[in-house]
């Protein structure tokens, strides 16, 4: 899913519940409109209950994805978990692919990070990059590892897929590179770094410590199996583990042929077993180098399921293969409509052990096999699978990751680790409310918190006691010339909001600004398209909005180079900067230069603050926070435009900021308290920064760098990619994942 202007979004969710629109009686329009927004008919501010701790939940659910360690019911896993293995002690080792980490689920139910993790450049919707470092615990770095194996001594081996290397994590937690060259692809045999690999995808280790890796063939035409001795010497078992390639047919075009890597397991005798998604068979590679088909018949097409003798058995996707401690062989198999765990006898006969219900395109929570991609068996014979799915049957549903367990002879799984996403559209108080990727926040004079509920395409209003209500109706488009009632439309991918002193709400939509009055009437108040979107210029959208005490609206338009001022009559002028003249320069009015503009905020003296990310595609240009006086004079409040983005605290001229994912549009937001302190969210590092008004010192207020989850209590706590921010009195409200949290300010 893409936002306007090809801007990526972090999480893809959908509407779970639609709230009905309510008509407003003319005699009490103002009262009911404010009530529908979670407000109060009185001008007297309603005081919210004080937070019980420095960091606490205000509304919504903090459940979902992340990399938080802890108990199995509190721990969070990444969006992609690809590899599973069981240690001799019974711990489950997990390749947490999207977190670039190797996690461990202990027999006592605790999830910990064995190696890697932290802030890394991997993202499933961006170009994968080399992210490699040896070291102990979190100092090690991985790049999208897809498979793990554990030897008899408890050492873990990792197919570090995008780094094109094989890693070893010893029992002390120290990671070393066993073989391969980081970032160099190939299929060359040799010792240690003399060898090369091409996207190693499956891994197994035998009793003698030999490691077997399957991969793609760098030049095409095969799918090798490689062997690595304990000393790191690499040889090729076979350059082509399959006989026939897989194929994909595009409408009106020819078939595209390719060989998928086989899935690999090895028994105590050194015999290799492969689940072959190309040939749709289980194959056996003997220690003497010969190979035979153990079960199934080689075929080019997925023909479905058939249990029975080896000669009649049929297989589908062949997602994973595993051996238990008794040497019994299991395969995770699918054919596009459902999945099964199948047991392969020593004679090649096949029986189905666990069968999922019919799977829709996207999995349903509870149908653990539908979205499973890997399989392991523990010492008690429990079958363990990953599950990376969505909470509803739509590509916009809340993603989640679980580790599930099937006990022997029991088709009902139990959750071992992970949690479902707390996504939805549900009104209610506090944790009973549900949001879907809330972003921008704005505070009304009565204490109502307005939330841009972006994936639900509505605006939410949360009263000071934490009760959420809905403005708008999902699924109703916003017509270009619309003027009407707020509950008659939706607000597609709304991400920014601002309020004025009379509780009017301003909502950017592309390069236009809609105004919602306190009575619930909606109309467009300004259209910046003619200024920012010329035929010869790239499109630009409103990326920041704020309002001063006189009711003037200020808007920042991405790469336009300008800050616009819209008076209450709707007249638009350039307030600071110069249209289509970008750069970084302080000074008055049109002398100033901006790069890529983002979120805005206003202080009590009507000074404006705006995020200036420089050239956000150039990671050597760092973001800054710019200050603009009511007279239009621009200065740099904090950050360095001459240095790459980073998380560095200190004096304003030394501190470095990060306001976006690498090579992404800025997603950080600003807020200002009554004293003039400025707060900046940092979704990439998962922290909130503070710029002190007294001396410009930049510090990290909340969150832990690279940790994605939620831990209430004393600061710094833990946040999950904080985005929107707004202050009321001594409380900072921050949106993240599917919730809004509150931070008690000193």
pLDDT at 688: 98
Gap between the Cα atoms of 445 and 496, Å rounded = 18
pLDDT category of residue 360 using cuts at 50, 70 and 90: low
Higher pLDDT, 263 or 120: 263
pLDDT category of residue 536 using cuts at 50, 70 and 90: low
Which H or E run includes 29?
Answer: helix 29-36
Query: In angstroms, what CA-CA distances link 424 with 234, 282, 391, 496, 705?
Result: 50, 42, 9, 20, 28
Name 450's Cβ contacts closer than 8 Å, sequence gap at least 6: 37, 441, 442, 443, 444, 459, 460, 461, 462, 497, 499, 505
Gap between the Cα atoms of 331 and 321, Å rounded = 4
CB 532 within 8 A of CB 557: yes
Tell me what the mean pLDDT of segment 605-617 comes to: 91
Gap between the Cα atoms of 498 and 602, Å rounded = 10
Gap between the Cα atoms of 315 and 332, Å rounded = 10
pLDDT category of residue 477 using cuts at 50, 70 and 90: confident
pLDDT at residue 22 tops 70: no
pLDDT at residue 614 tops 60: yes
Q: Please report the sign of the dihedral spanned by the C-alpha atoms of residue 127, residue 687, residue 451, residue 614.
A: negative
Gap between the Cα atoms of 483 and 478, Å rounded = 10
**Poorest-confidence range of 213-222, 279-288, 436-445, 611-620?**
611-620
pLDDT at residue 678 tops 60: yes
pLDDT at 254: 81
Gap between the Cα atoms of 469 and 483, Å rounded = 22
pLDDT at 367: 55
Which pair of structure tokens corresponds to residue 121? 């450049």
Per-residue HEC secondary structure of 520-578 comes to CEEEEEEECHHHHCCCCCCCCCEEEEEECCCCCEEEEEHHHCEEEEECCCCCEEEEEEC
Gap between the Cα atoms of 132 and 188, Å rounded = 20
**Residue linked to tokens 């068979």:** 281
pLDDT at 17: 32
188-228 pLDDT, tens digit per residue, is: 999 999 999 999 999 999 999 999 999 999 888 899 999 99
Buried b / exposed e along 280-304 (16+ C-beta atoms within 10 A): bbbbbbeeeeebebbbbbeeeebee
CB 608 within 8 A of CB 631: no
Gap between the Cα atoms of 75 and 63, Å rounded = 9
Tell me what the mean pLDDT of segment 39-53 comes to: 50
pLDDT at residue 27 tops 80: no
**Poorest-confidence range of 98-102, 331-335, 585-589, 699-703?**
331-335
pLDDT at residue 30 tops 90: no
Q: What is the DSSP letter of 595?
A: S
Higher pLDDT, 48 or 360: 360
pLDDT at residue 629 tops 80: yes
CB 69 within 8 A of CB 704: no
CB 78 within 8 A of CB 65: yes
pLDDT at 5: 34
| Phi, psi at 488, each rounded to 5° | -95, -5
Give the distance, in angstroms, between the CA of residue 396 and the centroid of all CA atoms in the same chain: 13
Which of 12-26, 47-61, 207-221 has the highest mean predicted lDDT (pLDDT)?
Answer: 207-221
**Poorest-confidence range of 250-254, 285-289, 738-742?**
250-254
CB 279 within 8 A of CB 334: no
The H-assigned helical ranges of 587-634 are: none
**Poorest-confidence range of 200-209, 391-400, 684-693?**
391-400
Gap between the Cα atoms of 169 and 105, Å rounded = 16
Q: Calculate the average pLDDT of the chain.
A: 87
pLDDT at residue 4 tops 80: no
pLDDT at 248: 83
Query: In angstroms, what CA-CA distances link 604 with 499, 545, 639, 671, 675?
Result: 14, 16, 23, 12, 8
pLDDT at 40: 37
Angle, CA of 117, 383 and 201, to the nearest 5°:
45
Residue 86: CA count within 13 A, CB half-sphere: 23
pLDDT at 215: 97
pLDDT at 153: 96
137-163 pLDDT, tens digit per residue, is: 999 999 999 999 999 999 999 999 999
Which pair of structure tokens corresponds to residue 683? 């979704």
Which pair of structure tokens corresponds to residue 625? 């926070």
3-state secondary structure of 462: strand
Tell me the whole-structure pTM to 2 decimals.
0.87
pLDDT at 666: 82
Q: Percent of the chain beyond pLDDT 70?
A: 87
Name 362's Cβ contacts closer than 8 Å, sequence gap at least 6: 371, 389, 390, 392, 393, 394, 395, 397
Tell me what the mean pLDDT of segment 557-578 comes to: 94
Beta bridge partners of 585: 593
**Using CB atoms within 10 A of its CB, is residue 255 exposed (0-12), middle (13-18) or buried (19+)?**
exposed
pLDDT at residue 36 tops 60: no
Closest by CA to 165, choosing from 157, 174, 154, 153, is 157
pLDDT category of residue 51 using cuts at 50, 70 and 90: low
pLDDT at residue 730 tops 70: yes
pLDDT at residue 738 tops 60: yes
69-95 pLDDT, tens digit per residue, is: 999 989 999 999 999 999 999 999 999
pLDDT at residue 311 tops 80: yes
pLDDT category of residue 393 using cuts at 50, 70 and 90: very low
CB 172 within 8 A of CB 136: yes
CB 399 within 8 A of CB 11: yes
707-726 pLDDT, tens digit per residue, is: 999 999 999 999 999 999 99
């Amino acid at each position: 899913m893409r936002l306007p202007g090809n801007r990526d979004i972090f999480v893809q969710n959908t509407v779970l519940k639609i709230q009905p629109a309510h008509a407003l009686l003319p005699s009490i329009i103002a009262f009911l409109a404010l009530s529908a927004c979670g407000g109060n008919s009185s001008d007297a501010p309603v005081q919210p209950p004080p937070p019980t701790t420095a960091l606490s939940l205000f509304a919504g659910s903090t459940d979902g994805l992340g990399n938080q360690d802890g108990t199995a019911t509190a721990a969070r896993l990444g969006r992609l978990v690809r590899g599973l293995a069981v240690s001799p002690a019974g711990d489950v080792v997990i390749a947490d692919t999207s977190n670039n980490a190797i996690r461990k689920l202990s027999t006592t139910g605790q999830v910990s990070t064995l190696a890697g993790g932290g802030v890394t450049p991997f993202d499933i919707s961006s170009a994968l990059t080399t992210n490699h470092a040896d070291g102990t615990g979190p100092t090690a770095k991985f790049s999208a590892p897809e498979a793990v194996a554990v030897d008899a001594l408890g050492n873990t081996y990792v197919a570090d897929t995008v780094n094109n290397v094989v890693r070893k994590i010893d029992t002390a937690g120290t990671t070393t590179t066993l073989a391969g060259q980081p970032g160099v692809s190939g299929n060359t045999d040799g010792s240690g770094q003399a060898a090369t690999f091409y996207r190693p995808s499956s891994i197994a280790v035998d009793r003698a410590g030999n490691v077997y890796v399957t991969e793609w063939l760098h030049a095409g035409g095969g799918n090798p199996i490689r062997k690595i001795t304990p000393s790191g010497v690499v040889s090729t078992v076979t350059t082509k583990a399959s006989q026939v390639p897989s194929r994909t047919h595009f409408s009106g075009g020819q078939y595209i042929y390719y060989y998928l890597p086989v899935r690999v397991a090895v028994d105590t005798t050194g015999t290799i077993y492969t689940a072959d998604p190309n040939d749709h068979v289980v194959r056996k590679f003997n220690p003497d180098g010969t190979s035979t088909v153990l079960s199934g018949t080689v075929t080019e097409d997925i023909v479905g399921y058939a249990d029975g003798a080896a000669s009649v058995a049929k297989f589908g996707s062949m997602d994973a293969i595993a051996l238990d401690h008794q040497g019994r062989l299991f395969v995770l198999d699918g054919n596009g409509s459902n999945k099964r765990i199948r047991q392969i006898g020593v004679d090649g006969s096949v029986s189905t052990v666990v069968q999922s219900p019919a799977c829709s395109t996207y999995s349903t929570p509870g149908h653990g096999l539908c979205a499973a991609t890997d399989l392991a068996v523990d010492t008690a014979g429990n079958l363990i699978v990953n599950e990376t799915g969505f909470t509803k049957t739509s590509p916009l549903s809340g993603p989640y990751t679980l580790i599930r367990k099937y006990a022997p002879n029991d088709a009902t799984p139990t959750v071992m680790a992970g949690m479902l996403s707390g996504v939805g559209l549900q009104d209610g108080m506090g944790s009973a409310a549900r949001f879907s990727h809330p972003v921008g926040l704005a505070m009304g004079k009565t204490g109502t918190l307005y939330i841009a509920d972006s994936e639900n395409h509505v605006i939410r209003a949360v009263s000071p006691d934490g009760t959420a209500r809905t403005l708008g109706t999902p699924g109703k488009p916003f017509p270009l010339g619309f003027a009407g009632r707020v509950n008659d439309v939706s607000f597609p991918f709304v991400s920014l909001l601002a309020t004025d002193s009379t509780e009017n709400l301003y909502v950017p939509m592309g390069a236009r600004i809609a105004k919602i009055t306190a009575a619930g009437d909606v109309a467009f108040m300004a259209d910046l398209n003619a200024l920012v979107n010329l035929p010869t210029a790239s499109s630009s959208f409103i990326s920041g909005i704020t309002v001063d005490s006189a009711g003037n609206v200020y808007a920042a338009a991405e790469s336009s180079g300008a800050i616009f001022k819209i008076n209450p009559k709707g007249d638009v002028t350039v307030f600071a900067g110069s249209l289509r003249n970008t750069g970084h320069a302080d000074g008055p009015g049109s002398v100033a230069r901006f790069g890529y503009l983002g979120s805005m905020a206003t202080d009590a003296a009507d000074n404006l603050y705006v995020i200036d990310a420089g050239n956000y595609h150039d990671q050597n240009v760092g973001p800054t926070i710019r200050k603009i006086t009511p007279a239009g004079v621009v200065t740099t409040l904090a950050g360095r435009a001459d240095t790459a983005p980073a998380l560095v605290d200190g004096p304003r001229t030394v501190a470095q900021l990060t306001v976006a994912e690498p090579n992404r549009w800025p997603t950080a937001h600003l807020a200002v308290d009554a004293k003039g302190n400025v707060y900046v969210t940092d979704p990439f590092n998962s922290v909130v920064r503070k710029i002190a008004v007294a001396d410009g010192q930049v510090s990290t207020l909340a969150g832990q760098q690279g940790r994605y989850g939620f831990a209430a209590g004393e600061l710094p706590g833990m946040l999950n990619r904080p985005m929107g921010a707004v202050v009321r009195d001594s409380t900072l409200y921050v949106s993240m994942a599917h919730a809004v949290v509150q931070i008690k300010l000193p």
